[in-house]
Amino acid sequence: MSKSITVGTIAEYVEGILAGDPDCLVTAPNSIDQAVNGQIAFAEKGAALKALAKTQASAVLVPKGVQAAAVNLIQVDNPRLSFAKVLHLFIPSSSIPIGIHPSAVIGQGCRIGNDAAVGPGVVVGSGAAIGERVVLHPNVTVGDNVRIGDDTVIYPNAAILERSRIGQRVIIHAGTVIGSDGYGFVFDGGRHHKIPQIGIVQIDDDVEIGANTTIDRATLGKTWIKTGTKIDNLVQIGHNVEIGEHSIIVAQVGIAGSTKSGRYLVAAGQAGIGGHLTLGDGVTIGPQCGVAQSVPDNQTMSGTTLAMPHGVWLRLQKVISDLPALFKRVRRLERQQSTLSPKVEKQETDSR
């Protein structure tokens, strides 16, 4: 990274309080334990704050009130958040120059906004509309009549298939597929008959989608990922799913068709969520948790089980929720038994 920014400029940028030299130059961010002269780090709590005494960083973002004589400090309310903002200052410029690469294929009737960058091997279908300052990295495919909002970035080999709607400031990582057919079939006459998937996918503003994730188009209507949601790598989202605003979907989660979540859903790694369910606002699904029923607002769901015959599993589900009460009952009976045992033994001795 070749940028040089003064500590004073960074302090103003994050609205922090500077304790140190405002003219000190910073050329890169780094972690508190690996930073060297010319770099900036952050220390939030615990061991990181203790490391202030020996860090070689030129500046450190710290909570308000923290003091250290040997290093320039920028005191802020939330060091981690402020460090994330600082990282934006050091993002390398795109390797894709503004304009359309000669090897790109652009369909009829396309509209490409000002300062967009269309890289080598990109294919844009007929009637597509690409917003301003959009970056399409090499070998991206954009289908017919797709809409992509301003300042969106799509990384190599991603495919945005026909009629999909992508909002502003969306980030779509390499290998992701938006708008592949939903998984719909009707079984008849000994074979599976395909149900045409004629809906769309809509991705709202400020969504980020990780690498090799797939989001299926709706059978009818739309599959809808709402504003601010962040989706990790290797996630599968089925047709007609709706994900509420500012949700977090972690790697290898699968969400079956027509399930709808409220705002602030958190689905941890490898969670599986069944189809046609409703998840309320603020629901958290733990790792590897299988969700087979709707969940009300602000509930946390967790638990995994070993594979077993389905009939046994069904009987087990009826018992699991009763286990805490059953355990208390057993403990009570044990205590009663322990108090009765001496009397019973005495009666048996007397009877002899």
Q: Which residues pair with 172 in a beta bridge?
A: 154, 209
Q: Does residue 248 contact residue 269 with C-beta atoms inside 8 Å?
A: no
- What would the pLDDT profile of 267-285 be if each residue is shown by its tens digit? 999 999 999 999 999 999 9
d(CA 289, CA 229): 20
Average pLDDT value for residue range 324-341: 86
Beta strands at 266-267 and 248-249: parallel, antiparallel or unpaired: parallel
Instruction: Write out the two tokens for 4.
Output: 């040089």
What is the reported pLDDT for 344? 54
What is the reported pLDDT for 349? 56
- What would the pLDDT profile of 172-209 be if each residue is shown by its tens digit? 999 999 999 999 999 999 999 999 999 999 999 999 99
Within a 13 Å sphere around the CA of 97, how many CA atoms are in the beta-carbon half?
A: 4
Average pLDDT value for residue range 131-154: 98
Residue spans of alpha helices (H) in the chain: 7-13, 46-50, 79-89, 310-320, 323-351
Q: Percentage of the chain surpassing pLDDT 90? A: 82
Active site residues: 239
Please report which confidence band the pLDDT of residue 337 belongs to, taking 50, 70 and 90 as the band edges: confident
Please report which confidence band the pLDDT of residue 339 belongs to, taking 50, 70 and 90 as the band edges: confident
- What would the pLDDT profile of 1-55 be if each residue is shown by its tens digit? 468 999 999 999 999 999 999 999 999 999 999 999 999 999 999 999 999 989 9
User: What order of strands is seen across the sheet that includes strand 99-100?
Assistant: 99-100, 117-118, 135-136, 153-154, 171-172, 208-209, 230-231, 248-249, 266-267, 284-285, 300-301
d(CA 40, CA 74): 10
75 pLDDT more than 50: yes
Tell me the pLDDT of the chain averaged across its residues. 93
The helix (H) or strand (E) run that includes residue 241 is none
What is the reported pLDDT for 1? 46
Beta strands at 177-180 and 171-172: parallel, antiparallel or unpaired: unpaired
d(CA 180, CA 228): 22
Instruction: Write out the two tokens for 3.
Output: 């940028």
Q: Does residue 228 contact residue 206 with C-beta atoms inside 8 Å?
A: yes
238 pLDDT more than 70: yes
- What would the pLDDT profile of 239-271 be if each residue is shown by its tens digit? 999 999 999 999 999 999 999 999 999 999 999
d(CA 159, CA 182): 15
Please choose, from the candidates 44, 38, 27, 33, the residue with its C-alpha nearest in 3D space to the C-alpha of residue 81. 44
